[in-house]
Amino acid sequence: MSRAVVAAYAACALIWGTTWYAIRVCIGDGGFPTLLALALRFALAALVLLPLAIRTRSRPTGATWAWLVLAGILDAGGYLLVYLGEERVSGAVAAVVYGTQPLILALGLTAVRLERLTRAHVVGAVISLVGVVVLFLDRLDVSARQAVGLAMVVGSVVVSTAYSMILKRHAGRVHTVVATTIFIAVTALVVGVVALIAGEPMPWPPPPGPSAALVYLALVGSVVAFLAYFWLLERTTLLVSSTLVFVYPLVAIVIDALFERELPLGPRAYAGAAITLAGLAVSLRRPAAPHARSVRDKVRG
């Protein structure tokens, strides 16, 4: 992997690993109503991206428009589930549940034959899923309300897997900035309509802390992170980019420990983090070069 790919991967991991807590700040006590917060986030992101997209003078052609619009609609549904789910569970728990995405993605890729699965990806996904379960058990305090929240987050995982496959197959035909702008603008439009129907009131004056979280989610969590993610999708496989979900819980749990202080990090949490990272290392491990394999086989022989 090139340094640029590693940098884009790290940026997505660190940014999206912190957005779980930022969402909680934005929609928590004294913050914005949930649907309004989501609509404002993507509307602001779309306004920032639109002038950049116009300057590229690039336009989607043919069916690419329809695929990007569909991906944006799915993204809106996924984020609605995440925001509503985070009314009921902590950011760290939501991030941990997202660790199931590579297994769902593996099933999807197998069904549509978009990418070839390797043994390393399957083994790495299973190992990381074990780490996610350990983290989950350490953080989760089971209740009916949390069960509903978890179901919403799992639904979001399925939806985000679907739009990631669409973007991988179709977004590469258009400039990264343009694809990202259309994707986010459609998301903003859909969640804006939902928020308008819900009729949630705008808090006035805007609360300082939640407002800062909203700006962070819009500019960094949406504009910067999605630009990096779209660029990453063009230069690596979906299986590699999907391993980001194994890093989110590690970042989110640390952020929870530093700021929310809901549950302290215990030995089981550290064990789960270690297992998750081990699975990530297996998934990202390069296969041996043909020459290296032949030499190794001769030595073994």
56-103, pLDDT tens digit by residue?
877 877 788 888 889 899 999 998 998 888 777 766 677 777 766 766
Least confident of 174-183, 218-227, 266-275: 266-275
The answer, as to whether pTM is greater than 0.85, is: no
pLDDT value of residue 269: 66
pLDDT value of residue 216: 94
Residue type, 262: E
Give yes or no for a contact between 153 and 97, defined as CB atoms under 8 angstroms apart: yes
114 vs 293, which has greater pLDDT?
Answer: 114
* 110 pLDDT more than 70: no
The whole-number average pLDDT for the span 237-243 is 68
Q: Report the alpha-carbon distance of residue 102 to residue 128 in Å, rounded.
A: 9
As given in the structure block, the two tokens for residue 181 are 């702008």
Alpha-helical regions (H) of 113-237: 119-139, 144-170, 176-198, 208-218, 225-235
User: Domain spans of the chain?
Assistant: 3-286
Confidence of residue 289 (pLDDT cuts 50, 70, 90): very low
pLDDT value of residue 74: 92
The model's pLDDT over 167-218, given as tens digits with 9 standing for 90+, comes to: 777 766 778 888 888 889 999 999 999 999 988 888 888 899 999 999 999 9
**Sequence-ordered list of residues with C-beta below 8 angstroms from that of 69, at least 6 positions apart, any chain:** 182, 186
Length of the chain: 301
* 150 pLDDT more than 60: yes
Range among 114-118, 149-153, 223-227, 284-288 rated most confident: 223-227
pLDDT value of residue 297: 44
Which one, of 131, 132, 106, 130, lies nearest residue 119 by Cα? 106
Q: Report the alpha-carbon distance of residue 69 to residue 71 in Å, rounded.
A: 5
Compute how many other C-beta atoms are within 10 angstroms of the C-beta atom of residue 108: 17
Confidence of residue 165 (pLDDT cuts 50, 70, 90): confident
Range among 100-109, 121-130, 225-234 rated most confident: 225-234
Q: Report the alpha-carbon distance of residue 162 to residue 129 in Å, rounded.
A: 20
As given in the structure block, the two tokens for residue 198 are 């819900």
pLDDT value of residue 185: 92
